[in-house]
Amino acid sequence: MSTGATLLVVCVVYLAVVLAIGAVAYRRTGSGTEEYFLGGRTARTVVLFMALLGTNVTPFVIMGIPGKAYHHGVGMFGLNAAIVALGIPWTFYVIGYPAWKAARRLRAISPAELFAERLGSPAVGVVLFVAFVVYTLPYLVTSVLGVGLAVSTLTADAVSLPVAAALILVVTIGYTALGGMKATMWTNVFQGAVFMGLVLVAFFAVADDMGGLAAATETVRRLAPELLEKGERPVFAPGAWASWGLAISLTVIAFPHMLVRIFAARDATAIKNTCRVYPVALVLLWLPVVMIGVWGAAEIPGLQGQQSDRIFPLMIQLHFGPVMEGLALAGVLAAVMSTIDAQFLTLGSMLGRDVLRRLSPDLSEVREVWWGRLFVLLLAVVTYGVVLWKPASIFDIAAFSFSGYVTLVPTMVAALHWRRTTATGAIASVVVGNAVLLWAMSHPGLEGGLHPVAWGLGAAIVALVVGSWGSRPPPRAVIERALGPG
């Protein structure tokens, strides 16, 4: 069988399994919004963990991180993986769990709805909806772009980037629109197993093909020794290191598609168990992708800038035959689809809950779901347009997106822990935080050695406190309905 035919068979089998799971979920999904968007809030540990991991892992990890490790070496592991192993579980504890409790009390479906109800202000929901859309769109772009690059690399451009991107969008929208949250969470279990399996197999198999782990490291020491230490690179300087650690740790809980997954948890035990497993999963995932990027720099030198985003599929191509290439492709597809399904579903739910229902309180649940589906279609079209434009590398697009999400964290923390928080403070925090972030991003060199996100976060905190103290808090009944007596 030719390489192209093998790739096609592996991918068709993978997509067929995903669609079959989606179809089964569709038959078991009721018609209400809570059932469609949150799967009836019944996710136990395994499904919740795999859904969160699957949603969290995108081509940023499988394509972007090897691409950066190709240029910057093993320091990329400490810069990203180490801090999130602590940061993500901690944010689940500080924000995720209180948000899950409040969402249960309020029967909130979307994050924006939760904070609008907590602060007694529909305007908060609209502002958060806009912010979530603005920062989720580039994140969607990184996912679809990653697939396009992987497919075009592995098929030697027989399947072009535009065709691959269109295909992935159509299939994902298909099963998401039909089966809702239940479909996306069930498929995420399968998809998470596929990409975790791929990364681990690729790691050991590439190392074995290079003569073993020690021989692979020795090859790097001989050809690109600077990649085996952090060195004096600006990206690893203490200020940039600390502020990027802050960004990547805080951003994950601010992804609306992650927070809404937590809302779907059946109980606190599922959330706690997920926290416990997360650090182990991150080691198993990030160590291989960083090392494959570093080994790739020794074996396939000369890739410039964004070209290194292709190093993972290039290494697969260099070391293996068509079956492994097909599996690699399935792994990347799995990582992408398990994220963009959640992103589409969450943004679709927010349009209905936080915008349309405010404008038309009599909107039926069935119509709300259909409007959500139409909005998802529109988002897919815009995403496709930006993918074809490809304004920056996967890592850089994701960095923009992550930074924006971080400016929303002060509002989340304060609304859940500080009863004096007001809608004015929350809106001021989002607006001022993002204005300062964009200013810092557009004035490189003026950030004082810090990543721009540090300035945006600081401004968001100040605006939140000043805005809250300068305005009246919501009535006590509104606060206690969300947070309980206090």
- Residue 145 binding another protein, by CB under 8 A: no
Kindly indicate which of the ranges 19-27, 282-290, 326-334, 388-396 contains the residues binding another protein, using the contact rule CB under 8 A: 282-290
Binding-site size for another protein (CB under 8 A) equals: 51
CB of 61 to another protein, least distance (A): 16
Check residue 278 for interaction with another protein (CB under 8 A).
yes
**Interaction mask 224-263, another protein, x per CB under 8 A:** ----xxx-------x--xx--x------------------
Q: Considering the complex, state which of residue 340 and residue 482 has its C-beta at the smaller distance from another protein.
A: 482
CB of 288 to another protein, least distance (A): 12
282, 337, 450, 453: residue in contact with another protein (rule CB under 8 A): 282
Give the C-alpha distances (Å, rounded to integers) separating 217 from 206, 227, 299.
12, 10, 11
Task: State yes or no: residue 353 binds another protein (CB under 8 A).
Answer: no
Pair 189, 47: CB distance under 8 Å: yes
445, 477, 485, 486: which one binds another protein (CB under 8 A): 477
Cβ neighbors of 235 (< 8 A, separation 6 or more) are: 72, 75, 79, 241, 244
**In whole angstroms, how close is the CB of 282 to another protein at the nearest point?**
7
Tokens encoding 40: 């009836």
Q: Does 116 bind another protein (CB under 8 A)?
A: no
Nearer CB in complex with another protein: 9/106: 106
Would you count residue 348 as binding another protein (CB under 8 A)? no
Cβ 193 to another protein, closest distance in Å? 21
State which of residues 4, 42, 101, 388 lies at the interface with another protein (CB under 8 A).
101
Helix-, strand-, coil-residue percentages of the chain, each rounded to 5: 85, 0, 15
Backbone angles phi, psi at 265, to 5 degrees: -65, 145
Given 155, 217, 346, 421, the residue binding another protein (CB under 8 A): 217
Work out whether 419 is an interface residue with another protein (CB under 8 A). Answer: no
Task: For the CB of residue 230, give the shortest distance to another protein in the complex, in Å.
Answer: 5
List the one residue out of 213, 214, 233 whose CA is nearest residue 79: 233
Q: For another protein, what does the binding mask look like between residues 69 and 98, x meaning CB under 8 A?
A: -----xx-xx--xxx-xx--xx--x---x-
Cβ–Cβ under 8 Å, residues 380 and 400: no
Contacts (Cβ under 8 Å, ≥6 apart) of 76: 65, 68, 69, 290, 293
Q: Build a one-symbol-per-residue string for 285-314: x at contacts with another protein by CB under 8 A, - elsewhere.
A: --x--x------------------------
Instruction: Tell me the closest approach of the beta carbon of residue 36 to another protein, in angstroms.
Output: 18
Least CB distance from residue 220 to another protein, whole Å? 9
The piece of 194-202, 329-337, 351-359, 475-483 that touches another protein (CB under 8 A) is 475-483
- The nearer residue to another protein, 358 or 481, going by C-beta atoms, is 481
For 13, list phi and psi in degrees, rounded to 5: -60, -45
Candidate segments 52-60, 412-420, 429-437, 470-478, binder of another protein by CB under 8 A? 470-478
Q: DSSP secondary structure string, 346-412? A: HHHHHIIIIIIHHH-TT--HHHHHHHHHHHHHHHHHHHHHHHHH--S-HHHHHHHHHHHHHTTHHHH
Q: Looking only at residues 197 through 216 of this chain, which bind another protein when binding is defined by CB under 8 A?
A: 213-214, 216
Cβ proximity of 340 and 137 under 8 Å: no
Helix, strand, or coil (residue 265): strand
Q: Report the nearest approach of another protein to the CB of residue 93 (Å).
A: 6
In angstroms, what is the minimal distance from the CB of 101 to another protein? 5
CA angle 112, 422, 127 (to 5 degrees): 35
- Measured CA to CA, the distance from residue 155 to residue 39 in angstroms comes to 37
3-class secondary-structure state, position 43: strand
Question: Contact at 8 Å (CB) between 461 and 429?
Answer: yes
Q: Which one, 205 or 228, has the nearer CB to another protein?
A: 228
Instruction: Spell out the residues 6+ positions from residue 278 whose beta carbon is closer than 8 angstroms to its own.
Output: 49, 52, 53, 85, 88, 89, 92
Sign of CA dihedral 386, 392, 398, 400: negative
Beta carbon nearer to another protein, 151 or 240: 240
Return the structure tokens found at 478. 């509104």
Give the interface with another protein as residue ranges (CB under 8 A).
74-75, 77-78, 81-83, 85-86, 89-90, 93, 97, 101-102, 104-107, 120, 213-214, 216-217, 228-230, 238, 241-242, 245, 267-269, 272-273, 275-276, 278-280, 282-283, 287, 290, 474-475, 477-478, 481, 484
